[in-house]
Amino acid sequence: MGATAMTAGTFGTASKAIGQAKKPIPTTPVKIAAVSFLTGAAAAPFGIPGDNTYKMCADVINKEGGILGRKIDLQSKDEAGGVDAQVKLCRKLILEDKVDVVLGYISSASCLAVLPLSDELGGLIVAYDCGTHELMEGAKSPYEVPKFKLGFRSKAHLGIDNIGLALYIKKYYPKTKKVAGINPDYAWGRDSWLIFEVAMKKLMPQVEVVKTLWPPLGNTDYTAHISALMGAGPDIVHSSLWGGDAVTFSKQAIGMGFFKKIRMAYSRGEPYPQEVGKDYPEGQIICCAGTHYFLFSPKDKASADLQKWFVGEYHKRYGKYPTYPCYHAYQAIYAYKYAVEKATKAVGGWPTIDEIAKAMTGLTFPTPSGPLTIREDHNGIEDCLVGITKLTPKYPFPILDKMEVFSAAKVNPPVGTKTVDWINSWK
């Protein structure tokens, strides 16, 4: 206790030295709002791990003296309640509570609704886990960047998952003839399928789409969907179901003998083997929303060390291995920290929101899955890891086998080009 107070004190004097230039660094804590699903089906596999990571990182940063001496005052908020509730909550956070930054949002629906508020209300918002490519893209390519002056996403969009899956299927299952899709009925599911379908048509034109199903988010009974898919007889079923939906679907599908005939390709299936356990079927194609996998080791030494520390620290605190939402949470909170530090260096003093936003554009910083760059379109770009589930005696759940990493350049469209147009322009 005393030690932390001391370090804070020393940093206080240090910051004064910098603050001589223009703006003194305030001594009040930095208010960070972290919004994730804390209740509902998405809480256990996404929201809680994400929120845990925010808490862990805030704790670690505070122990190291905070951001330029300012402690982080982390406020965890619940993302449940629907889009409209999120718009209202975000407005309250920015206008009434006057937080310094909002980090958050797992659902693409929340992001699409909330991120425009950044410019409308003049608050910094960093989306940390939502996937839709439409979030930062304009109506037609080339589009103007950035779309939002104060809105960011500290990760890559769903293009990497679905392009990665298509590339993987082409490489490992070139004989695939029929595919089908079951995706949640909102932006995330619709866009995931769109990109996957476009990529498949380009890569494997002979493949036929036999069925596309759109269960609502939070559906409880998948029997009708499962048998409809089995009736259509595809080789591979693409799915971006997530949270409780993915678990429920898997359980009911196991009961109906689904996996005996059909292979699933999950665009973000990484958390579920750990969530379902031993019963999780083998041989399913799974993408990790980047290279966020606890058994993955980045090539460069610094990142590899960071990964080792991150997995260890997380497992020590919460008794589980970090899943991809954890990595995303790490990226978001550290993107803010590094951007503030970079901006402070440039302006000499605590930066304004616009200066932080300027610093965050083009920022590159180390993360446990390798260095991450946030581009001029305010979107992160990442490599993508795809593998196949396989049971081993070492872990009580299937792990990934035949891991394949697709480099960022292969799965991310260039700045200003719409993902669909980019895929269609492939030779």
Residue ranges binding another protein (CB under 8 A) = 38-41, 43-44, 78, 80, 82-85, 87-89, 91-92, 95-96, 108-109, 112-113, 116-117, 119-122, 185-187, 190, 194, 197, 210-214, 216-218, 220-221, 223-225, 227-228, 230-233, 244, 247-248, 251-252, 255-257, 260, 279, 420
Q: Which residue has the tokens 């839709």?
A: 132
Least gap, CB of 397 to another protein (angstroms): 14
Which CB sits closer to another protein, 68 or 124?
124
Which CB sits closer to another protein, 258 or 266?
258
Which CB sits closer to another protein, 94 or 289?
94
Which CB sits closer to another protein, 28 or 39?
39
Q: What strands lie across the sheet with 178-182, from one edge to the other?
A: 208-213, 178-182, 236-239, 263-266, 285-287, 384-390, 399-406
Least gap, CB of 108 to another protein (angstroms): 7
The C-alpha atoms of residue 113 and residue 132 are separated, in whole angstroms, by 12
Which CB sits closer to another protein, 95 or 295?
95
Least gap, CB of 181 to another protein (angstroms): 10
Cβ-contact 196, 167 below 8 angstroms: no
Least gap, CB of 231 to another protein (angstroms): 4
Cβ-contact 119, 99 below 8 angstroms: no
> What token pair was written down for 260?
């005996």
Least gap, CB of 228 to another protein (angstroms): 4
Cβ-contact 282, 389 below 8 angstroms: yes
The C-alpha atoms of residue 191 and residue 212 are separated, in whole angstroms, by 13
Which CB sits closer to another protein, 174 or 233?
233
The C-alpha atoms of residue 257 and residue 226 are separated, in whole angstroms, by 10
Residue 75 is given by DSSP the state E
Least gap, CB of 40 to another protein (angstroms): 6
In order of 173, 227, 230, 293, 342, the CA distances from 210 in angstroms are: 17, 13, 11, 32, 51
Least gap, CB of 6 to another protein (angstroms): 36
Which CB sits closer to another protein, 91 or 170?
91
Cβ-contact 156, 133 below 8 angstroms: no
